[in-house]
Amino acid sequence: MADGVTLIDPPSTFVDATVQVGMDTLLQPGVIVQGTTRIGVGCDIGPNAVIKDSIIGDECRIQGSIIEGSSLAHRVQVGPYCHLRPGTRLEEDVHIGNYVEVKETAVGRGTKVGHFSYLGDAEIGGWREHRSGYRYL
């Protein structure tokens, strides 16, 4: 808290000593952050989110979801009620809707995954650079 992180309800928020949290990040009640997790600046986490051994980019919004062994780029929105399993990689500006489960999947920049979805062992969406400019995959 002395480094600019806001905890709405410190007694209900659990952060391991190994976790790094960026300035201006808000941790709402019931949040649990464990392991080697790194959270960027300006994020809004919770309520009731559980994050373990993951990398969360800047300005991400995670609502009441479980994230394990995953990597989220900047401005990613997740949840509520999602489960990101190990090996999940979300690029910039990805939106993951309610009740989505993702496992061992790379989701490309700007992709939106609707509610009640499952993505497993895949690479979907986003933009790839091409010598003539960008094209959508």
Active site residues: 115
Nearest-CA neighbor of 74 among 87, 88, 55? 55
Nearest-CA neighbor of 52 among 73, 63, 38? 38
Do 94 and 76 touch, CB atoms closer than 8 A? yes
Q: How far apart are CA 57 and CA 75, in angstroms?
A: 7
Long-range contacts of 105-109 (CB under 8 A, 24+ apart): 108/137, 109/73
